[in-house]
Structure 1
Amino acid sequence: MSLGSISINCPWEDNSPEPLLDICGKYVIAHPETFCVLHQLSGLWFLRPGTALPTELCERLISLWQDINTEALDDRFINIFRDLANTRLKRVTLRNSSVSDDGLGVLLSHNLIELDISNCSKLSERTLNNINKYGDSLLTLVIGKTKDILPSSVSAGAQLEPSTGKDGSPVSELRKREYILRTPNLRKLVVRELIQPKDDGYFVMLLQPLTKLTHLDLSGCFFLHDIKYLLPMKNLVSINLHCAQRIQDTIPVLSEIKTLKFLDVSQANQTYGMFECPDTTLANLVSSLPNLTSLDISGTNLSGDGTFDEYRDSDDKEHQRDVEADLCDIPGLRCRINNPLEFLGLYNTLHDACHRNHIPARVITGDANEEQILAAMEAYLDRPDVLVKALNELFHIFRFETCHDQKRALNLILLAMLRHRREKHIQISGSASLFYIAKTEDKNSLSVRTRQKIIGVLLDAMETHLDDSTMMRNGCLTLCQFRIPQDVLFEYRRLVQLLLRLIKGRDNGDDFVRRIAIYLLNSLACQVDGEQKELVGDLGAIETMLKLISDRLQDDMHDDMLEIAWSAMWNVTDETPINCLRFLNGEGMTYFQKCLKAFPDKPELLRNMMGLLGNVAEVKDLRHRLMTPELLTTFADLLDSNSDGIEVSYNAAGVLSHIASGGPEAWTIDRPTRAEVLERMVAAIERWDLASKRNINYRSFEPILRLLEVYHTPQCQHWAAWALANLTRVYPDKYCSLVEEEGGIQLLQALLASPAPYSRIKILARIVIVQCQHYKEDGSLERMDLDSNT
């Protein structure tokens, strides 16, 4: 509302853990079978027998359901509150839900005291009957823009069944009963953008019976006519007539409502906010309302033309001081110089009133500075057209200036995006500012809950506006500012699904979005455990990457997306046999050979492809599918490659080591021979520099350590020992402890005690053991000056 500052409850501000109630509530909502029973025919949930839920829990479950679900709330969940003996409700917000008349009837039977049904598209005039049936207890009713609840007319021919008057003419049932809402104790009513009724008595019949009203919001309503029907309401303290038709005609009556504290006569279109004598009109209005603390005149000319400057032309300094004591740049508010308003709305007023220096109000909405913009966002959260303008202005502050109250700005951006999920321009503008917030140097100061809220809101926006390339760009670029995958693990499945849809989709023609999506997916697949890698495979990542590779081959195109596709599959197949099988079943080896033939001189591509095949070769049950003359010849030839340093040669030797670890009987082809390949592999290993820096990341050495036990083929041990010696020498902080943790030292000592391995293998084994001993003793290891060809 624009009638003063609202309270913003943002539980994600601090780094305290999420309340246990919310954690449990989210779990049972995601698993309703824990406390409900599903009726198979109707699809409705019923409360499980023996379960009782207190009021606080019932209301929180509805709120949490709307927070964590992208689908609109509907009757299936609401039905659990049919059990009046074991559930309790008093305050319910159904904003933007898909609850039907029947579902709302269930809720109303709880004798609610507060109800918000804004923008509930499935409600009809049947709901009005239910509201009137249970209306005695209602204190707050927010109908908002839900247009079909209230009748379009109260004259003859209205929707309700007509009866006949004394003269034989039809009389509507509404006229007969003389009310629309039977809510005798109602204190607050919000009805917005009601433009259908044209008969003079409509708003009289709607409002006159509501004698206890204190807060009335008729924003955007037409045909209010003479609003004298408000005068008998002796308790009114708040009236909102934003964008109401012919607002000029309402001022005389409003001036007579002496109890008013909050008044909004603002307009979205300046054309409708023009007053003939703006200074006099405003002065008379304000002086007539002694209790007024909040006034919104945005979009009107009531602020005057800003010419109250004559004192500046005086040469008499003493006179200037006297005038300045009574200075007011809005002539109509001079009477409030010594009693400033708590709130004054000046957004989009004529003559840029918000830019003036002397305004008698403590909080002002406008676009003159950060404070005014944030005040506007806070005040106009329910006005999308105004809110998007304020969001754009805030974005410019983030982009070109410095936002001083970033916490407040962040809270308001998130609230705006949460409240208006389907308003595309709000989502785009809000996400643009979130990018700069996430990008700042002090982003690490954001709490875990804050990061999660930002990420959750971004995913909501992206899923809702999937076909808008600007929204996708903003969302992906902002997500890139977080730590991947650590910060997004709580929404891992959801994010992977979204990214795969972006990678597959070509409708928006934005290759940049696809590039950044595949980059994010690759990052998500890295440094996660096997369960999550399996999930990525289950969701179709392998098939999506292979399709992308196929498209690139068809177009004879080598680019970064082709390389990242192979990198993503390399990560997803790491120690994940099921994904290796998916790769093979998807004709992955065919694409490998085609890429090798089409792009033989691309180091990154070769490294990524061979890294992936190394993962496949680690799976014993899949090795036979690599055992073809063509593939083995290719792997052997790649041993001589200098592409990307030693990486391609190293990965080729790794593939061959795992294949050879099956023993001579597993080598089922005649050419190339096993002995020939093993000889070439050893020659390649001996060429590598033991001090080579690596473009590789190991989470576990288990596959390498298994090769240390292959005594029947010492060449396999040779490759494994060299790999461990290189990694512990170049990256001791990262890998020495990993060797010890996974039992590598014992395996190396056993290797040294055995007569089978040849001397070069034992030299490498000793290097690893000594490296790890020094690291353990010193805490940090001074690299040994060992010649790689010792």
Structure 2
Amino acid sequence: MYQSGNPRVQIKYRHKEERSPESLFCLCLKYVARNLDIVCKDTPAGYTLHEGLALPSEICEPFIEAYQNNGGEIFDCFAHLFEDVTKTNLRSVNIRNSSITDDGLEYLLRHDLEELILTNCQNLSHKTYINIFKHAVNLRSLTIGPNVQITPYNKLSNCSLTLDDVPIIIHRKAPNLKHLVLRAIAESPFSSDNIFLGVMLDKLLQLRVLDLSYCLGVGSLRYLCKLNSLHTLILFDVPHLQDSSDAILNICTLTSLVVLDISQTESYPEQGVYKDENKTLALIVKCLPNLMSLDISGTNLAGKGTAEQSLCESFSDKKSDIPGLESRVDNPLEFLGLYHTMHNACRRHDIPAKIISGDANEYQIFNAAASCMDKPKLLQNILNDLYHLLRYDQCTQIDQALDIVLEALTRYVKEKLIQISGSATLFYIVKNKDRPLLLNDVTVKRRIITTLLTGMDFHNYDETMMRNGCLTLCQLRIPQDVMFEFKRLVQMLLHIVSTSDHEGFVQRIGIYLLNSVACQVNNKQKNELGDAGAIKKMMAIIKDRLHRRVCDDVLEVAWSTMWNVTDEAPTNCKRFLDGNGMKYFIGCLTTFPDKNELMRNMMGLLGNVAEVKELRPRLMQSHFIKVFSDLLFSSQDGIEVSYNAAGVIAHLASDGYKAWIIKNPPRCKVLDRMTKAIQNWNLDADRNINYRSFEPILQLAQVRHTPQCAHWAAWALANLTKVYPEKYCSIVIGEGGLRIMHELLEEDAQIDQNSEPGVIHSLAQTVINQCMIFMKNTVEASSQLDHTAVIINAGMR
């Protein structure tokens, strides 16, 4: 006797210890899938291989899979890549969630495929059905899944085939067909059963596997009795099985059956309720002696749990808590599907099966997921079960749960409810920081991110999906973990911040993620952010908040994002000015004058703009200069607003007297105010700022015609090297700052003529002293490490 949900015999996914790094081949496939121009060019007819290239089946098939797994959709233009059968070679094709048409699929069918799987391809018609059997000489396996309406007599297709055409096409054109999946085939409009299915099955006597899930018309099952070689029969959600004794009797004639699935979805309570459930189940197992896998999920066939030995012809001393299975007590099934069976059958003790699917524990849920991966209606419920296990920390096999969720999300991109349930479950998996799985396995993290972004792309107007996705991304390292999907991530985040509810949580988390990405990427990627519309989107948010007179964290982060995106990115600085950025700056300054964080972010951004020489004339306007001058003595956010205002003025003044084309306020008065402001700053002040380079500051330190420029630059470097020596001394040294500081010392008398005597000299000396101390400590630390290494090596000898 076997206990319910024995963990030793569960259906297994890849475990953590079985995972290995991605091969170079897989990495290359991913790269090419995201950069198709490497292997092909886009022509009016579609993608075409570059001259001299050929792709064997060992590359073609995994390439198509990699393309889909990384968010690509198989459409006609892509399918054209495989038009030339002398340069490409396909044996197996699996197309899902595709907009491909009959003409596009024809390019793939020309390869005389051995296996074809079509799922959720709604633009195909009965023309494809004809084309399939024009090229079916090698066809061994054919899957026509849900939302693929190509078969004759389907209510949703206008078909010109006659009934007499069907057996000729199937029997003569596909002599090797052994595996046939026809899901969701509608009834014939001419009768109560499906004539097409009946005639088709009447000729496919060589079938080993037959899946008629969701098909209507149990009358067609009378043709099953001719399939003497049938190994597997799937009748999931076929209606009215419980109402037709002939249907069960027809199934019982298939004595060769090893796998039988007559499960139902519990959302249809009238389905799956058999009148004599115990006798029906006993009849099935008695008539099918080779049966080893049976799925009766969602039905009442497991009975109420009372053993009724009278059902069995041969009595046994052992009992079964599923009455209809008493005859299998000594010959237990390899698998028994009991997910959401009536009367909680999966929770019973004595069940004659080695592997059980159900919802009694995590092992049963894993088994249910494995057996229901082709059943999206049940799979959604299973993902909800996993969600509750993970949310309340009751799941011990996190890696196995992850495999299930990723497989479901990848397979059912268009199923919104599965995407929502799966992404919510994924959040709790990624959030589990006690497991080293996600922290160390780059391959796993990348698969999570790609799968998540693909689902978000497809359901990008669903707030719940966007929320789940963003929350999950927040659990990862931003931007390090997501850089391989940088463009897709940026496009998604920009979509979120521009379309989500103005006061909603999704917009807030989206803009925080975008800012996190912007503040840590390189200049090339900052320009890509600008190309993607980051400045324009932030401007739209600022315009909205100004119109509604609302200063919230979204407004502040919008300015912070532009501050980060414009750092050492002149093109983005120009985009800011071209987009009426100064108008929004003045608007926020006057509307929200007391918001410290907002003011700091705005002035930091203007500091970036002022660093671009060709843009500085656009700031040289009286009302702008007056604002900057007034802000020199601002105490908002410590010294940051005053510091950035002085930085802007220093850059404007560095262009010389002639560049100061305005009369008011006068240049000399503004510079005097700047000097007094700098003298009021505390050199030991902690800073809320981050520099990656001192190049613009060092340029100001070399300005001789306006000493105030060097004064501000020297103060900035002295403060940063004194308060954060470990972080900033190396930058000063690496960028030649010590030489520039020594030059300031040598020219001190001339430079300090318009400032307090010795001030710039003192600041430059501070920078030099801090860097010398840093270098001395670094050398001593290095020597100490070398000395320790010698001792260790000596001890080892």
TM-score between both structures, scaled by the size of structure 2:
0.89
2:133 is matched with which residue?
Answer: 132
Do the aligned residues in 2 keep the contact of 1:13 with 1:449 (CA within 8 Å)? no
Deviation, 1:547, is 2.1
Q: 1:226 to 1:750 in 2, by over 3 A?
A: closer
Do the aligned residues in 2 keep the contact of 1:635 with 1:656 (CA within 8 Å)? yes
Query: Which region of structure 1 is more displaced relative to structure 2, 682-691 or 563-572?
Result: 682-691
2:65 is matched with which residue?
Answer: 63
2:425 is matched with which residue?
Answer: 433
Deviation, 1:148, is 3.2
2:790 is matched with which residue?
Answer: none
5 Å matches for 1:114-193?
A: 114-152=115-153, 159-160=159-160, 172-174=163-165, 177=168, 182-193=173-184
1:224 and 1:324 map into 2 onto residues whose CA distance is: 35
Do the aligned residues in 1 keep the contact of 2:632 with 2:677 (CA within 8 Å)? yes
For 2:258, which of 253, 257, 261 is the aligned residue? 261
Q: Which amino acid aligns with 1:86?
A: K
Deviation, 1:215, is 0.8
Deviation, 1:574, is 0.8
Deviation, 1:309, is 11
1:636 is matched with which residue?
Answer: 629
Deviation, 1:342, is 1.8
* Structure 2 unaligned spans of 5+: 1-8, 310-314, 753-757, 782-797
Secondary structure of 1:117's counterpart equals: strand
1:747 is matched with which residue?
Answer: 740
Secondary structure of 2:336's counterpart equals: strand
2:18 and 2:706 map into 1 onto residues whose CA distance is: 60
**Deviation string, structure 1 residues 58-114 (Cα, Å, up to 9, x no partner):** 2122222222344x3122222232222222111111223233223333322322111
Deviation, 1:500, is 1.8
2:35 and 2:169 map into 1 onto residues whose CA distance is: 47
Deviation, 1:423, is 0.9
1:375 is matched with which residue?
Answer: 367
Q: 1:226 to 1:753 in 2, by over 3 A?
A: closer
Deviation, 1:8, is 5.2
Q: 1:6 to 1:368 in 2, by over 3 A?
A: closer
Do the aligned residues in 2 keep the contact of 1:733 with 1:780 (CA within 8 Å)? no
Secondary structure of 1:639's counterpart equals: helix
2:560 and 2:690 map into 1 onto residues whose CA distance is: 12
Do the aligned residues in 2 keep the contact of 1:774 with 1:781 (CA within 8 Å)? no
For 1:385, which of 377, 382, 387 is the aligned residue? 377
Q: Which amino acid aligns with 2:110?
A: S
1:746 and 1:383 map into 2 onto residues whose CA distance is: 71
Do the aligned residues in 1 keep the contact of 2:197 with 2:220 (CA within 8 Å)? no
Deviation, 1:134, is 2.4
For 2:228, which of 234, 247, 251 is the aligned residue? 234
The root-mean-square deviation of aligned C-alpha atoms, in Å, is 2.8
Q: 1:214 to 1:726 in 2, by over 3 A?
A: same
Deviation, 1:439, is 1.9
Deviation, 1:567, is 1.0
Secondary structure of 1:273's counterpart equals: coil
1:313 is matched with which residue?
Answer: none
5 Å matches for 1:68-467?
A: 68-70=70-72, 72-152=73-153, 159-160=159-160, 172-174=163-165, 177=168, 182-197=173-188, 198=191, 202-225=196-219, 227-248=221-242, 249=245, 250-268=247-265, 269-308=268-307, 326-442=318-434, 445-446=437-438, 447-467=441-461
Do the aligned residues in 2 keep the contact of 1:46 with 1:80 (CA within 8 Å)? yes
Q: 1:226 to 1:116 in 2, by over 3 A?
A: closer
2:540 and 2:52 map into 1 onto residues whose CA distance is: 52
Q: Which amino acid aligns with 1:634?
A: V
1:196 and 1:226 map into 2 onto residues whose CA distance is: 10
1:787 is matched with which residue?
Answer: none
Q: 1:529 to 1:36 in 2, by over 3 A?
A: closer
Q: 1:429 to 1:509 in 2, by over 3 A?
A: farther
Do the aligned residues in 1 keep the contact of 2:281 with 2:301 (CA within 8 Å)? yes
Q: Which amino acid aligns with 2:264?
A: Q
For 2:25, which of 18, 21, 25 is the aligned residue? 21
1:398 and 1:592 map into 2 onto residues whose CA distance is: 46
Deviation, 1:327, is 4.0
2:760 and 2:436 map into 1 onto residues whose CA distance is: 46
* Structure 1 unaligned spans of 5+: 163-171, 311-322, 783-790
Query: Which region of structure 1 is more displaced relative to structure 2, 187-196 or 439-448?
Result: 439-448
Deviation, 1:345, is 0.7
**Deviation string, structure 1 residues 238-267 (Cα, Å, up to 9, x no partner):** 111111233243322323322211110111
1:788 is matched with which residue?
Answer: none
Do the aligned residues in 2 keep the contact of 1:469 with 1:510 (CA within 8 Å)? no
5 Å matches for 1:31-50?
A: 31-40=35-44, 43-50=45-52
Q: 1:556 to 1:39 in 2, by over 3 A?
A: closer
1:226 and 1:662 map into 2 onto residues whose CA distance is: 88
Q: 1:432 to 1:13 in 2, by over 3 A?
A: farther
Q: Which amino acid aligns with 1:266?
A: S
2:312 is matched with which residue?
Answer: none
Secondary structure of 2:180's counterpart equals: strand
**Deviation string, structure 1 residues 561-607 (Cα, Å, up to 9, x no partner):** 12111111111111111111111122211221221112111111111
- Report how many residues are paired: 751
2:485 is matched with which residue?
Answer: 491
2:258 and 2:377 map into 1 onto residues whose CA distance is: 26
2:608 is matched with which residue?
Answer: 615
2:269 and 2:171 map into 1 onto residues whose CA distance is: 33
Do the aligned residues in 2 keep the contact of 1:775 with 1:781 (CA within 8 Å)? no
Q: Which amino acid aligns with 1:291?
A: N
1:159 and 1:618 map into 2 onto residues whose CA distance is: 68
**Deviation string, structure 1 residues 279-305 (Cα, Å, up to 9, x no partner):** 222223223323222110011111110
**Deviation string, structure 1 residues 677-713 (Cα, Å, up to 9, x no partner):** 2222222222222221111111111111111111222
Q: 1:623 to 1:204 in 2, by over 3 A?
A: closer
Q: Which amino acid aligns with 1:748?
A: M
5 Å matches for 1:467-478?
A: 467-478=461-472
Do the aligned residues in 2 keep the contact of 1:47 with 1:83 (CA within 8 Å)? no
Deviation, 1:655, is 1.1
Q: Which amino acid aligns with 1:252?
A: L
Q: 1:284 to 1:754 in 2, by over 3 A?
A: same
1:226 and 1:61 map into 2 onto residues whose CA distance is: 39
1:483 and 1:181 map into 2 onto residues whose CA distance is: 58
1:578 and 1:688 map into 2 onto residues whose CA distance is: 33
Q: 1:7 to 1:529 in 2, by over 3 A?
A: same
Secondary structure of 1:656's counterpart equals: helix
Q: 1:147 to 1:473 in 2, by over 3 A?
A: closer
TM-score between both structures, scaled by the size of structure 1:
0.89
Deviation, 1:647, is 1.0
